[in-house]
Chains A and B, each alone.
Chain A
């Protein structure tokens, strides 16, 4: 297991390098630059700016400079948020995204998994139809509809909760964004759980377990749940990476100081260093979480072993 983990970590390095290289050059190929706006800058000023950010150097040199800085853990200064380094922006914003995202994932698992199981057991019953059509609605209604609606109803009209703001992650401020963020996840997980549970319940070892006279709940909890969780667990890797790196919609509507906005704003502003920083961070996170998922697999499924 240890050598497998090490091997995977080493494999991650060339993968990341490819991601970084592709993003670096794709970003530069994109038309428009960081200083293009309604007011075109006078050539003198643009020259000063380009020099300040080393954009006047040949592209391969900029690439080598970037890799060199990256090796030293330096993601460079943001073009847009000039008073901060990209690593500072990410490290200041990530705790909020992480906290919000973890609560959302937790809620999604705690609600989505049982719902999926119930729907699978009571297949084609009213309970199943209710759960599945609600889940479909949850998937179909986008964040940018749910979030402002929640803020309006609970923040403005009822006045029970703040309509926005972070307040250091106080639960009152967390509740609405967590709900908005987790609804889609609950729906996805419930549907996935239902499908895989139905499949597992039809397998031979479940029939054997039942034949041994075990109670239905024992069959489900002891024998079916673990294998049925496999698709959900493999979904969780990229899903967690996606959720804890923030959602630009949720952040903007609830005023959460996370890093989701940097992905979008960085690209739109051609803030090269910010885009690269978020790509590196997200890429590393995905690789790490996928590794964790694969390790979890071996715990859930005895058929999977990571030997050399």
Chain B
């Protein structure tokens, strides 16, 4: 490099910077005017059905294949209907497909689309759109987070890793109204995965024409009950009914406004001030007050999530000794955490897979019914066996990701384990560092939380397969792997349920985890809203909702 080139470099960089700052400020004034001109959050009026939702956060995307958070799928579900949809209470019901059947082997599935389906721009919606969406979902460049859920489809893994072209995926459209999906092994969760918004047919004509900009309000064309009217990032997203939706006659809302309110106190204030009708998430610190004062609006219900700690089973870890892990599990008073620390109706867990997965016949710790005295006696005995006690304490580091509630729980665990001669040191880091370190095995006992991607026990249990990247404990058990592998391919429901039960019981019997409680969530819903039902999946499609203006 010649001596002058850094200067030139710097000069052109400077020019570029000035240009970007200039263009930013120009763009700024331009969009400020646009914002004023188009601002459209109107106050809810008596006759208009305008529903305003405090939705937790700004969506990272409105492309169904780029979303995974509940606050994102809530909007996307209103815009795009998958082949299989959800009822108001979270049951699977026909969506764009009116019916489907599988071959006797469970390997070939046929979906029959409703007649006369149209995109919101009037273009016919065909099975080719469904084929296009599934191929796009597994294309490496799409980088879809949940792509592995679709690996049972023939060639899905090869397509997703770039070794086969997308047209080799086991999906086909023999005619405009029929979609066939071929699997490489039976999958008990296929219907559930196809009900996820990322599997919804996509408007290939719009994506072809607009590329990455297809999700902008001016471009987006939808199949669901609503269309995207306006998207002002961090301000609001406004949806209006899609007249071409197959169930349009049952949609009563005139407008749905999603507000990305992250602060749950702010959401509560907005609800109390009559500025929103639904608020997802309530401030834990005000829970008792809400119970007393907003009881009619408050809904608290279990969701498919588990709060637990993982033990590092790797060699050299102080909790590699199972006796110590069992002693800690025995000495943990889960009800103290759920009732005295949290108090929002969380369910103490003597299991690992949340109870809300009702189909799953839950496994349990064998000491679940013991008295506390008996548990503590056993725990002391195990610690003594392992060579520890009040005179020879075990030093243990507890890691959690930085959050006040996590801290309270970690402190409580330290206090509960103290009588066993365990001296706990607490370490907290921000979430990104925490989970990276746990995955690398750089911890002793670490806080973990898991929310189901699909309503199936496999989704939780698969995390501890030897080769799974979420396997923080470092469990490496051929027996466990065999159970998980068998459940993934089992076509018979009862046999599969038994395999998953056995896998969960293995985790508990070997104290791989320290489960604490099943998550619950709380929502505030204006009593004037009908059609809203709490459910474990926490799905509440707006098309079922209605505002009773006489309320």
- Please report A residues at the B interface, Cβ cutoff 8 Å: 9-10, 12-14, 16-17, 30-34, 36-49, 51-52, 67, 70-73, 75, 80-84, 87-96, 98-99, 148, 151-152, 155-156, 159, 162-170, 251-258, 261, 268-270, 280-281, 284-285, 288
Bound-state CA distance A208–B35 (Å) is: 55
Cβ contacts under 8 Å, A164 to chain B: 261, 266, 269-270, 273, 275
Contact B273 A89 (CB under 8 A): no
Whether A268 touches B431, Cβ cut-off 8 Å, given contacts A16-B17, A148-B265, A165-B41, is yes
**B66 CB contact (under 8 Å) in A75, A82, A94, A156:** A82
The 9 closest A-B pairs by CB, nearest first: A168-B39, A32-B432, A13-B14, A71-B16, A95-B32, A91-B27, A257-B235, A257-B234, A40-B469
Bound-complex Cα distance A285 to B22 (A): 11
Query: Taking chain A's interface residues, is the majority helix, strand, or loop, or is none over half, making it mixed?
Result: helix
For chain B residues 146-201, which have a beta carbon within 8 Å of chain A? Answer: 147-148, 157, 160-161
Is B470 an interface residue, CB under 8 A from the partner?
yes
B21 sits at the interface (CB 8 A): yes
Question: Which residues of A are found within 8 Å of B453, using beta-carbon distances?
Answer: 39
Question: B21 touching A284 by the CB < 8 A rule?
Answer: yes
Contact assessment for B435 and A32 in the assembled complex, using a CB-CB cutoff below 8 Å: yes
Write the chain B residue with the least CB distance to A154.
B273
Q: For the complex, give the distance between the alpha carbons of A256 and B23 in Å.
A: 22
A85 to chain B: closest residue by CB: B212
B416 within 8 A of A: no
- B270–A165 CB distance below 8 A: yes
Which residues of B approach A to under 8 Å, CB–CB?
9-21, 23-25, 27-29, 31-32, 35-36, 38-39, 41, 58, 60-63, 66, 140-145, 147-148, 157, 160-161, 212, 215-216, 232-235, 259-263, 265-266, 269-270, 272-273, 275, 430-437, 439, 448-451, 453, 463, 468-470
Can you give 29 A-B contacts (C-beta < 8 A)?
Answer: A16-B14, A32-B436, A37-B432, A38-B435, A40-B469, A40-B470, A45-B148, A45-B160, A47-B161, A48-B141, A67-B13, A70-B13, A71-B13, A71-B15, A75-B20, A83-B61, A91-B23, A91-B24, A91-B28, A93-B233, A94-B25, A98-B28, A99-B32, A163-B266, A163-B275, A164-B261, A166-B235, A251-B234, A268-B430
Q: Which of A38, A70, A73, A83 contacts B23 (CB 8 A)?
A: A73
The CA of A116 and the CA of B266, in the complex, are separated in Å by 34
Distance from B431 Cβ to chain A, minimum over Cβ atoms (Å): 7
Closest residue of A by beta carbon distance from B15:
A71
B469 touches A38 (CB 8 A): no
Q: A45-B160, A257-B232 are in contact. List 5 more A-B contacts (CB 8 A).
A: A39-B470, A40-B469, A71-B12, A166-B39, A269-B432
Give chain B residues whose Cβ lies under 8 Å from the Cβ of A49: 143
Query: Are B269's CB and A152's CB within 8 A?
Result: yes
A84 and B233 CA atoms in complex are apart in Å by: 9
The closest CB in chain B to the CB of A159 belongs to B273
- What chain B residues lie within 8 Å of A165 (beta carbons)? 41, 259, 270, 275
Given contacts A13-B14, A38-B450, A93-B233, contact A253 B265 (CB under 8 A): yes
Q: How far is the CB of A11 from chain B (nearest CB, A)?
A: 10
Chain A residue numbers with a CB within 8 Å of B270 are: 155, 163-165, 255
A148 and B266 in contact, given A17-B10, A255-B259 (Cβ under 8 angstroms): yes
B233–A257 CB distance below 8 A: yes
With the chains together, A39 CA to B435 CA distance in Å? 8
Q: Which residues of B contact A16 (CB under 8 A)?
A: 13-14, 17
Q: How far is the CB of A249 from chain B (nearest CB, A)?
A: 9
The closest CB in chain A to the CB of B162 belongs to: A48
- Distance of A270 Cα from B21 Cα, bound (Å): 23
Residue of B nearest to A51 (CB): B140
**B432 and A270: CB pair below 8 A?**
yes
Q: A41-B469, A252-B262 are in contact. Are A163 and B272 (CB under 8 A)?
A: yes
Task: Name which residue of chain A comes closest to B401, CB basis.
Answer: A38
Query: In the complex, are the beta carbons of A43 and B469 less than 8 A apart?
Result: yes
Q: How far in angstroms is the closest Cβ of chain A from B500?
A: 19
In the bound complex, residues from chain A placing their C-beta under 8 Å from that of B142 are 48
Which single member of A32, A34, A43, A159 contacts B433 (CB below 8 Å)? A32
**Cα–Cα, bound, A33→B142 (Å):** 19
Q: Which residues of A contact B451 (CB under 8 A)?
A: 38
Q: Decide if B17 touches A93 in the complex (CB within 8 Å).
A: no
Residues of A within 8 A of B263 (CB): 252-253
> CB-CB < 8 A to A156: which residues of B?
269, 272-273
Q: Do A169 and B36 contact each other (CB < 8 Å), given the known contacts A13-B11, A284-B21?
A: yes
**Are the CB atoms of A10 and B29 closer together than 8 Å?**
no
